[in-house]
Structure 1
C-alpha cells in the first residue's frame, strides 16, 4: 500500500530569509513582505505573520501593501534561491526518511514513505519528527500522509485537523474541501464556480465525459490522481556527489531470480566505486523504475560502514519479495545515500592474536528484516531505581563503564511496568506467604529480602520519602519472582503499602 507525505512550508521564503540574515533579521513584530515581478507588475509573493495580521496578502500589488501598512519592510524575493534551497531540503528528507523525495515548488515536498514509516515509530511519529526538526531550525511546517500525493497535498493545506488519511478514507478526507485543493488553474476554478461547483465532492462523482468536454482534461486528471485511480509518479531528487550505479534493460525484467542476479551485479559495481573513493556505505537505496513510470524503492541500512559486495547482495536478495515489478522493471539504480570514510586495515598477523568476532553482518540481516528500532541491547545506567537503571543502546555501541551492583541479583526479565498483586504478609519486614498475579494464586515456599530502595529525591518531590522493599520469592513449582512493597510498612508517607511484581528470574 502506497503512502506519500506532503510536507507544507507555508512561509518558506520568509523563513529562509530570516535564517540567512541571522541576528540582522528584522524582529518578528515588524511587518515584512517579499516582492517579485510578474510582467510589469510588482506584487507581494510572501509576508510574515505581522504583515498578514495587518491585511497584507500574497498576490497584492506592492504599492497597495505599502499604502496599507505604514513602515512596511519591503525586500526583493529570491525565487531562484528558494528553489535551490527546496532541492537541498528534498535531499535532507531523502537521506533521513525515505528513498523517494521530490521538491514541490514553491512551498512543499513530496516524500514517498511506503514501507519506511516504521523506522520512525509509525506514521504519526514520522510526521511529528519532520515538523519538529524543521521547527527547531526556524522553519514553519505542517505535514499529512495519505495513499496519494494529491490527497495528502489537499489535506495539509486546507484541512489541518486530519493529518493521516487511511487507504479507504480519501473521499471522506477531501470531499468537503474547496476545488483549489485539487491544484487546478485559477481560471478553471473560476469557471467551475460559475457553474455552481464549489467543493471536490461536487465534481468527483459526476459523469466524467461532460466535465471533460466542458472544462478540459485537467479536472479529471487531478481528481483521478487524488483518488488513486491514476498514478502520479514522483521523480526523486539526486545529489551529484552520491556514489551510485545503474543498469538499463533492453527488455523489462520482473522474475525474482533475475532481480536478485542484477542486484548482485550492481552491488559489486557500487563497491568498486566506493573503493576508489575510500568510502564505506551505511545506507543504500535500491530504486527499480517500472515501465508504468512508477518507482519501487528499498532502503538497506548497515550497522557500520562496509563495501563487501557479497554481504550487500545478500541483504538486497532478502528484500526482493518486497518489490512489486508490475509489468516489468526497465531501469535499476543502486545509490549509497549515506557513506563514510573506510580505509583498509590489515588483519591480525601474529599467531597469538585473535580477531574479535564481527557481529555487524548478523545485525544488518536482523535490522533489515525486523526493523532497526527493534534490535538493541541493554546497558546499565547509574540509578538505584530498577526501571531507570537500564537503557537501550545500539547493538554495536561501545560498552558502558557503568555496571549493575553484584550485591543483589536482578531478574532476567524486568516487566515494562510493575503489576499489582494481592498478597498476605506480616508487616513490616516479612515476605508474603502467598500472592495472586494475573488470576493465579501462588504459595511462597522460599524468600529472600528485603532489599530497600529509596526514591531519587533529586528528581521530584514525590520521591523524597518514597521507599520500596524488594523480595525474591519462589513458588511451589520452583519459579522465582521479584516482588516489592511500596512503603516501609510503617510510615504512610513512604508509600501506599501495596504489593507489585516487577520481574521474573529465569
Structure 2
C-alpha cells in the first residue's frame, strides 16, 4: 500500500490557482503573492488559521492559531478564506488521477491518498521508482508530496508523515527479504503516527509514551480503561497483526487495458486511434473469457491531473470491437484534452456471460441484429429515451407488457423465467390506456354484438369471434364492495369486424344479471 501525503494541499491549491490566473493574464506576480499565505476559517466566533504554507510555517504560524495572534507575529500576511468543500472535491479528482498508477485509489482524510500498488510495480522498475514518479509529477503540478510504501496502510501512513525520506520517498517491505524492518522503523516514530486523536496523543505523551516503540512492551490491559481499544488496534494494524480494510473510490475492475502515451495527445483523431487499439485488446480478452461488455468507460488522464471520462452502455453483452469503439467514438467530442492526454485507460465496468450464437449458412449472425441499433440510439439520445415493450407474466391485457429502458435488460425476470408472447391469444397492436365505454346491440346478453356505437359513430358488425373470458388475478382483485370486485371483474372479450373491414377488440364486463344492463367497452384495435 502506498500512502501519499500532500502536506500543503490547501495552500498549494491557492498558489497553483494564482499561477494559472497570472499565466492566463500574462502578468507578473504581485507583492501580495510573495507574502506568507494562510487560509482562515470561523471557529466558535473566532477567526483562526485553517492551513499555512511553508513560508508561514517558518515564521512560526500553525493551524488553529487565532488570526489576531498570527498578525501580531507576522503583520504582512496573504489571507484567503478556507474552502474545505473545494479542497475535498479537488482531492477526490486528484485521487482519480492517481488511477494512472493503479485502479485502486482512495481518499485519505483531507490531505492524503491511498494507492494499492500490488499489481502496478511491473509497470515500473520498482516500488521506489513508482513512488518517485508520483512525487515528481505532483511537484510539477505544484503540490508538495511525500510517499511511503509498506505492507500495511498504517505503516505507510506513519512513515509518509513522520519518517525520514529520500527524495520524498521511502519503501518498507517487511516481508521475507527484510523481516522486522517496519517494526524497527516505526519504533522511532512519534505516537501521532498511529493515527490517534489529538487528545489521546497528548495523554500518551504525559505518560512518557512518546514513541511508537514505547508501546511495544506495554501490557494492553492497563491501556484499555483509559484509551479504549484505539491505541491497541492502531498499533496492531500498523504492524500487520490486524487487517485494515480500506474501500477504494471506485470498485476495482480487473478487466481493463491501458496505454501510456509517449507524448501527450490532444486531437480527436489521436484519441480515436488510441481507443481503437485499446478496444481490440479489451474485446480479445472478453472473448477469451466468454464474456460480453454491458458498460465500458474510457478514462483519459491529462497532464494537469484532471481525468476525462466517457461511458457507453449496451442493450446486450457484446465483445465486438468495431461496434463498441464506434459507440465511444461518438462521444470523443465531449473530452476536453486540456494541455494534453498522457494515459488512456479502457475499462469494462459491467460484463455478462455470452452464450454461443448459431451462425447462418452465409456465415452471418442473424440473431441480435436490433441490438447495435438500440445501442447507437441510446448512446445518442440517452438510455431513458429508448424504450421497448417486454412481456410480463400476467394474462390481463393492461398488465401483460411494460416499458423498460432497453439498456437495462430485456424482459429479465427473477428466477430466470422469461415470459413469452407466442402462446397467447391474438392481441391488438394498439391498446387503449383506458377502455372506452360503448353502446352495444346484442341479440342475447352472451352473444357477440350486432352493432355498437363508439364516440357517436355507429359500426355494424360483420364478423365476430369469442368470447375469451379473462378474470382479475386473485392477488390483484380489489376489495369486496369496490368497483370491479367479485364477478364484476370478469371480462368476456370479442374480436369483431365491421362492414368497412375495421377490426376491434371489445369486452363485456361482469356476468349477466337480468336486473343490471351489461357494460361494454372498446379496448383495442387489430390491423
Query: Larger C-alpha radius of gyration, 1 or 2?
Result: 2
